[in-house]
């Protein structure tokens, strides 16, 4: 039982009475001033109404004073409201006295006093409203010029480099500013929480700590956001709650140290969080292809030309990606040409040596290609042993084209062990359809591709044809 | 003096040539042969290349000219069946009615004539009219939420190709060719194939607009003479032609020494290219050596030159040779009336060949870096145009919602993207504008649609004008 707070909480119920009644009295006074004497009667009507307003004003002030002990509100904005409330009350009283005692003829001066009281009441009411609803409540949905600077947009991440995105400033801070800042700022630190200062997130307020770095379950902020909506402690009380994505981002950030410089790391993020961020913020944390992660320098122009002049088509992957895409354009490749290729082996990621009469002997001349992700060796009549030993030296391979080579099941089995392999082409090799399907079952992460054949189709019948048959 | 020289060597402009020649289709290929602004081949050497690592290196665009009915083929709407014959609710129709049906008293909803089924691991819906495409749904990304600007064929086709309804802008194949350069110096970089007798598309769609004419699409025709005026005239042998070119080269080199005009070099490069094409074109167009099982894959039609199926087979051969952009055109999809009789014929012509092309590319490993796009210039209405009888109806143009298919490099497989309302009339989810599609195609090719521009008449132009958002959701 806590009598003062119990009575105090009648404050919101009572505050509207003095405002309404006093305004009514003011209306009477204006009408009287402009000659509606018949309607209003004597000035006594006005005095009576004002007195009634004052009485309820006293009650509101009393309950408000009791409520101020409850510690639920920020001290600065509370005291503004409180002081303004008492000033308004005093002025109201003076207005009433002046209405009774003041010179009968000076209606103009009387009206000015009442106008002052009305202004003070309005200000008090507005401050009180800000106290409970937050100071952006009134203007949030208004036209832009009218708004206080209180609506924060989360940035456009279309071109953001996801490797270098600080979680707190880019996502969490804007959300806190939007949803919490109105009631938790340096003027109005309700519940003792002031979000003006990053450090305050980690300071105890009202016997609990908003954020405990590394421990989401002990973080009061996260707990409050995740409560049932009808719970008294649910935050934010009057706004829409935090959405699921934002809560997950907050949780991830807390788990990973809750530093203002904590970044997203796709290795530690759950698949769910990756998908959520992609859906809600257009942030793409899906694993980049290997060839987009490797950094290398551009080639010497002469070397580039030398490769070109040795019957290779050579190109960089992109303007700032100097990995190479190389294709042999001649009919049969020579040892010398392979030696030229070897000069740029460190940078080749796509290599096409299809129909190049590449032999087992020549393949042994080839360097290791540390960044090789895609290789096309099709139409070369290569044997299993040479091919496998070459391919197994290239752990980054994602796609291997072995069409029209002398490859058997045992070789393919070895090749399928490559960690990063996604696709392998085995059309016109020694591998049979049965062998292929059994291997496909065992290596479900690799697409083993061979000749495609359609199933037999029957001519479709239209609805009319079907109806006619029935 | 300098001016005098300049005047002397002022090349024939493409515009002059086309307006004087009135050779129609052939003029296109010829124009690109003699145009002096060419940077093909070895003259200038360096190619521009992509902005960032590309997923696709080339595109095969299967244009279904006339606009196939998405409601009969792809976008399955059971409500149409339920409400067959009833008036399309005003609330669905809204205010916009095309001129062609404005005076039509009733607008009864029409059901799809053929059954739909779900296919593959993805459960993608497809009509029984496309039994072969149905078998490869796990390779396809179906966008059911396409929309475009124009309701008329030519402007809508122009819009899909150039990002503008009015002719004059470069077509997408030219932009790509301009942005990425060539991978095969013996063949044009941008080639179009049209179904014989059912061309649909016009050569206007191959125009490089204000881009140098070397980026213009070259139409390859079926039969003996794929590229007009490429063969030597009777009595002129390859040796004679070579000798002629060599002598011309000497003269032009002298000219170049005097004038230092780069266009002379590039003109010669074009002549050389044409000379090489005398060998390379017949070679790539000769499909007689294709094995029987390949003809089986593409279907009976593929043996008949000039059919869509035969063109699909050729498209694969061109893709193998590294041709950057291949446009196929197949007309006859404009079913304002008689849809029940017409649409099965069109499907018969394209279903197997389209699916075969995708799977042939796949089995060869070419789908790794080839993007296939399939679709028309807009969609068709869910109500009948003209009278709905027991076994006949038509559908009017509908630009507010239609379907495009994509398959291959960099695109999610088995994805059905976007959604329309119960009547397939308005898009309800994930709208994809033509500009968005074009931005996405360029992105897959490693090109940033905002960076790929060309300055002309004092301002920079783009394929996507000032619009276009990458459709990230369909990228794999």
ipTM value = 0.85
Residue B378 lies in a domain: yes
Which H or E run contains A118? helix A107-133
- Residue with structure tokens 């002629």? B244
In this structure, chain A runs to a length of: 470
Per-residue pLDDT reduced to its tens digit, A69-86: 876 676 677 888 999 999
Find the CB nearest A462 among B113, B368, B472: B113
Task: Dump the DSSP string for B365-419.
Answer: TGGGSEEEEEE-SSEEEEEEES---SS--EEEEETTSEEEEEEETTB-TTEEE-E
Classify strands A423-425 and A447-449 as parallel, antiparallel or unpaired.
Answer: parallel
Q: Considering CB atoms only, which of B355, B368, B446 is closest to A399? A: B368
pLDDT in tens, B293-321: 999 999 999 999 999 999 999 999 999 99
Going by pLDDT thresholds of 50, 70 and 90, the confidence category of residue B46 is very low
In a domain, B16, yes or no: no
Give chain B positions within 8 Å (CB) of A403.
363-365
In angstroms, the Cα distances linking B22 to A107, B229, B392 are 96, 14, 41
- Which pLDDT score, from 0 to 100, does residue A151 have? 47
Instruction: Determine the Cα angle at B35 with ends B32 and B40, to 5°.
Output: 75
Please judge whether A321 and B135 are an interchain contact, meaning their C-beta atoms are less than 8 angstroms apart. Answer: no
| Structural domain includes residue B245 | no
Cβ atoms of A270 and A227 closer than 8 Å: no
Question: Which residue of B185, B364, B470 is the best one to mutate when testing the A interface, meaning the one whose CB has the most A CBs within 10 A?
Answer: B364
* Cβ–Cβ below 8 Å for B183 and A319: no
B162: which residues sit within 8 A by CB, 6+ positions away?
B168, B169, B170, B171, B172, B207, B209, B463
CB B346 within 8 Å of CB B293: no
Contacting A residues, span 269-288, partner chain B, CB-CB under 8 Å: 282, 284
CB–CB of B365 and A378 under 8 A? yes
Within 202-231 of B, beta carbons closer than 8 Å to A belong to none
Q: What average pLDDT does range B317-346 have in this prediction?
A: 95
Whether B297 is in a domain gets the answer: yes
B180 to chain A, closest Cα gap in Å: 11
Give a yes or no: residue B7 inside a domain: no
The more confident residue out of A104 and B463 is B463
Place of tokens 């000069």: A343
Nearest-by-Cβ selection for A457 from B111, B131, B391: B131
Task: Flag whether pLDDT at A314 surpasses 90.
Answer: yes
pLDDT digits (tens, 9 = 90+) for A39-67: 888 888 899 999 999 999 999 999 998 88
**How far does CA A235 lie from the centroid of its chain?**
19
Q: Is the CB of residue B220 less than 8 Å from the CB of residue B287?
A: no
Phi, psi of A147 (to 5 degrees): -80, 145
A460 with B53: Cβ contact below 8 A: no
Average pLDDT over residues B351-357: 98
User: pLDDT (tens digit, 9 = 90+) per residue, A122-148?
Assistant: 999 988 888 887 766 777 676 655 554
A449 touches chain B (CB under 8 A): yes
Contact flag A423-B390 (C-beta cutoff 8 Å): no
Count CB atoms within 10 A of the CB of residue B261: 16
Residue B9's pLDDT is 45
> Each residue of B128-157: b (16+ CB within 10 Å) or e?
bbbbbbbbbbebbbbbbbbbbbbbbbebbb
Element (H, E) at B220: strand B218-220
Nearest to A171 by CA among A182, A160, A155: A155
B27 band by pLDDT with thresholds 50, 70 and 90: very low
Contact A454 B355 (CB under 8 A): yes
Mean pLDDT of B411-424: 95
Q: Decide if pLDDT at B2 tops 70.
A: no
C-alpha pair distances (Å), A305 with each of A24, A252, A300, A312, B74: 92, 50, 9, 10, 49
pLDDT of residue A436: 95
Q: Contact B132/B426 with Cβ under 8 angstroms?
A: no
The answer to whether B131 contacts A401, with C-beta atoms less than 8 Å apart, is: no
The answer to whether A332 and A303 are in contact (CB under 8 A) is no
Cβ atoms within 10 Å of B62's Cβ, excluding its own: 24
DSSP B89: P
Using a CB-CB cut-off of 8 Å, the residues of chain A touching B47 are 315
Task: Give dist(CA A118, CA A91) in Å, integer.
Answer: 9
DSSP secondary structure, A52-75, as one string: HHHHHHHHHHHHHHHHGGG--S-H
Higher pLDDT, A4 or B468: B468
Answer for the pair A191, A72: CB distance below 8 angstroms, yes or no.
yes
Tell me the angle at which helices A75-101 and A107-133 cross, rounded to the nearest 10 degrees. Answer: 160
Query: Using the beta-carbon criterion (under 8 Å), do A463 and B114 form an inter-chain contact?
Result: yes
| Banded model confidence at residue B66, pLDDT cuts 50, 70, 90 | very high
Q: List the single residue in A with minimal CA-CA distance to B352.
A: A454
Percent of chain A with pLDDT over 70: 93
pLDDT for residue B6:
44
The average confidence (pLDDT) of chain B is 87
Closest residue in B to A280 (Cα–Cα):
B473
Q: What is the number of other CB atoms lying within 10 angstroms of the CB of residue A154?
A: 15
In sequence order, the 6+-apart residues with CB closer than 8 A to the CB of B283 are none
What is the per-residue pLDDT across A434-456, written as a single tens digit (0 to 9) for each?
999 999 999 988 999 999 999 99
Residue A24 has pLDDT above 80, yes or no: yes
* Chain B contacts in chain A segment 344-383 (CB below 8 A): 374, 376, 378
Which residues constitute the domain of residue B467? 48-239+292-474
pLDDT tens-place string over residues A180-223: 888 888 877 888 888 888 888 898 888 889 999 999 999 999 99
pLDDT at residue A378 greater than cutoff 70? yes
The pLDDT score that the predictor gives to residue A148 is 46
Distance from CA of B54 to the nearest CA of A (A): 7
Q: CA nearest B362: which of A166, A397, A452?
A: A452
Helix or strand run (H / E) with residue A400? strand A399-401
pLDDT at B14 over 70: no
Note the pLDDT of residue A260: 86
Say whether residue A427 is in contact with chain B using an 8 A CB cutoff.
yes
Mean pLDDT for the stretch of residues A252-278: 88
- Whether residues A318 and B53 touch (CB distance < 8 A) is answered with yes
Confidence of residue A4 (pLDDT cuts 50, 70, 90): confident
Q: Which CATH number does A299-449 carry?
A: 3.80.10.10
Alpha carbon B156 to chain centroid distance?
13
- Give residue B291's pLDDT: 95
- The CATH number that applies at residue B308 is 3.40.720
Nearest C-alpha of chain B: how many angstroms from A221?
33
Supply the pLDDT for residue A152: 54
Nearest to A155 by CA among A168, A174, A136: A174
Name the domain count of chain B.
Answer: 1
What is the per-residue pLDDT across B109-143, written as a single tens digit (0 to 9) for each?
Answer: 999 989 999 999 999 999 999 999 999 999 999 99
From chain B residues 261-290, the ones with a CB under 8 A of any chain A CB are: none
Contacts of residue A99, defined as CB under 8 A and 6 or more positions apart, other chains included, come to A43, A46, A47, A50, A110
Q: Are B115 and A463 a contacting pair at CB < 8 A?
A: yes
Q: Is the residue at B274 inside a domain?
A: no
Q: What values do phi and psi take at A272, rounded to 5?
A: -65, -45
> pLDDT value at position B1?
40
Q: For residue A143, what pLDDT is reported? A: 63
Question: Between residues B287 and B440, which one has the greater pLDDT?
Answer: B440
* Of B438, B344, B459, the residue nearest B391 (C-alpha): B344
Measured CA to CA, the distance from residue B443 to residue B55 in angstroms comes to 8
pLDDT at A370 over 60: yes
Please tell me which residue, B233 or B57, carries the higher pLDDT value.
Answer: B57
Q: Which two tokens stand for residue B104?
A: 């039509």
**Above 90 in pLDDT, residue B463?**
yes
Cβ-defined contacts of A38-44 (< 8 Å, 24+):
A43/A99
CA of B131 to nearest chain A CA: how many angstroms apart?
Answer: 6
């Amino acid at each position: 039982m806590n009598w003062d707070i119990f009575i105090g909480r009648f404050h919101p119920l009572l505050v509207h009475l003095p405002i309404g009644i006093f305004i009514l009295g003011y209306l009477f006074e204006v009408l009287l001033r402009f000659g509606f004497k018949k309607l209003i009667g004597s000035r006594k009507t006005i005095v009576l109404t004002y007195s009634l307003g004052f009485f309820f004003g006293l009650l509101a002030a009393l309950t408000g004073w009791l409520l101020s002990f409850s510690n639920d509100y920020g001290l600065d904005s509370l005291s503004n409201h409180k002081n303004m409330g008492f000033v308004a009350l005093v002025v109201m009283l003076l207005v009433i006295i002046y209405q009774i005692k003041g010179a009968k003829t000076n209606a103009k001066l009387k009206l000015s006093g009442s106008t002052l009281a009305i202004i003070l009441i309005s200000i008090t009411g507005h401050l009180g409203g800000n106290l409970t609803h937050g100071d952006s409540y009134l203007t949030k949905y208004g036209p832009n010029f009218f708004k206080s600077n209180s609506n924060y947009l989360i940035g456009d991440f279309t071109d953001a480099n996801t490797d270098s995105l600080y979680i707190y400033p880019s996502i969490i801070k804007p959300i806190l500013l939007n949803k919490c800042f109105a009631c938790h700022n340096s003027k109005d630190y309700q519940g003792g929480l002031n979000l003006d200062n990053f450090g305050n997130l980690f300071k105890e307020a009202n016997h609990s700590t908003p954020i405990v770095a590394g421990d989401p379950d002990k973080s009061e902020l996260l707990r409050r956001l995740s409560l049932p909506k009808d719970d008294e402690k649910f935050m934010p009380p009057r706004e829409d709650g935090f959405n699921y994505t934002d809560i997950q981002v907050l949780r991830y950030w807390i788990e990973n140290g809750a530093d203002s410089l904590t970044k997203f790391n796709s290795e530690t993020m759950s698949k769910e969080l990756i998908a959520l961020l992609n859906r809600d913020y257009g942030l793409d944390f899906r694993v980049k292809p290997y060839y987009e992660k490797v950094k290398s320098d551009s080639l010497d122009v002469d070397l580039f030309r030398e490769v070109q002049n040795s019957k290779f088509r050579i190109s960089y992957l992109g303007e700032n990606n100097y990995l190479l895409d190389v294709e042999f354009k001649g009919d049969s490749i020579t040892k010398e040409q392979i030696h030229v290729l070897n000069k740029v082996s460190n940078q080749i990621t796509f290599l096409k040596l299809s129909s190049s009469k590449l032999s087992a002997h020549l393949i042994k001349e080839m360097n290791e290609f540390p960044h090789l992700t895609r290789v096309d060796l099709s139409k070369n009549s290569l044997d299993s042993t040479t091919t496998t030993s070459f391919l197994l030296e290239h752990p980054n391979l994602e796609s291997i084209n072995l069409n029209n080579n002398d490859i058997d099941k045992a070789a393919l089995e070895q090749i399928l062990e490559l960690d990063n392999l996604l696709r392998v082409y085995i059309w016109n090799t020694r591998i049979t359809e049965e062998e292929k399907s059994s291997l496909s079952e065992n290596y479900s992460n690799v697409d083993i591709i061979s000749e495609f054949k359609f199933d037999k189709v029957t001519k479709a019948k239209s609805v009319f044809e079907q109806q006619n048959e029935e | 003096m300098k001016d005098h020289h300049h005047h002397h060597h002022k090349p024939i402009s493409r515009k002059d040539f086309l307006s004087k020649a009135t050779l129609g289709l052939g003029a296109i290929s010829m124009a690109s042969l003699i145009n002096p602004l060419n940077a093909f081949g070895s003259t200038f050497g360096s190619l521009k290349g992509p902005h960032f690592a590309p997923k696709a290196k080339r595109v095969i665009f299967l244009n279904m000219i006339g606009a196939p009915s998405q409601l009969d083929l792809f976008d399955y709407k059971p409500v149409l069946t339920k409400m067959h014959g009833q008036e399309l609710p005003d609330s669905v129709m809204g205010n916009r009615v095309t001129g062609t049906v404005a005076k039509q008293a009733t607008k009864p909803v029409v059901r799809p004539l053929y059954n739909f089924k779900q296919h593959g691991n993805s459960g993608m819906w497809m009509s029984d009219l496309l039994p072969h495409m149905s078998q490869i749904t796990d390779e396809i990304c179906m966008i059911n939420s396409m929309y475009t600007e124009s309701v008329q064929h030519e402007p809508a086709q122009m819009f899909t190709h150039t990002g503008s309804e009015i002719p004059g802008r470069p077509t997408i194949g030219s932009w790509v060719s301009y942005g990425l350069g060539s991978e095969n110096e013996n063949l044009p970089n941008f080639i179009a194939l049209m179904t014989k007798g059912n061309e649909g598309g016009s050569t206007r769609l191959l125009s490089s607009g204000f881009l140098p004419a070397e980026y213009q699409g070259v139409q390859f025709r079926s039969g003996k003479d794929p590229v007009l005026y490429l063969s030597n005239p009777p009595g002129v042998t390859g040796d004679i032609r070579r000798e002629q070119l060599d002598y011309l080269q000497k003269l032009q080199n002298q000219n170049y020494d005097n004038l230092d005009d780069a266009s002379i070099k590039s003109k010669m490069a074009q002549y050389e290219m044409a000379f090489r094409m005398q060998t390379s074109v017949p070679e790539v167009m000769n499909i007689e050596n294709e094995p029987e099982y390949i003809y089986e894959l593409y279907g009976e039609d593929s043996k008949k030159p000039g059919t869509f199926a035969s063109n699909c087979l050729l498209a694969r051969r061109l893709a193998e040779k590294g041709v950057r952009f291949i446009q196929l055109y197949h007309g006859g999809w404009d079913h304002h009336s008689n849809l029940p009789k017409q649409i099965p014929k069109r499907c018969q012509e394209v279903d197997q060949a389209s699916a075969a092309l995708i799977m042939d590319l796949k089995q060869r490993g070419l789908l790794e870096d080839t993007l296939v796009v399939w679709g028309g210039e807009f969609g068709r209405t869910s109500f009948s145009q003209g009278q709905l009888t027991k076994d006949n109806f038509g559908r009017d143009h509908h630009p507010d919602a239609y379907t495009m298919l994509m398959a291959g490099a960099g695109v999610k497989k088995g994805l059905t993207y976007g959604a329309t309302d119960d009547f397939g009339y308005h898009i309800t989810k994930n709208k994809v504008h033509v500009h968005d599609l074009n931005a996405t195609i360029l992105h897959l090719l490693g090109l940033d649609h905002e960076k790929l521009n060309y300055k002309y008449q004092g301002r920079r132009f783009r394929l996507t004008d000032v619009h276009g958002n990458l459709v990230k959701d369909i990228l794999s």
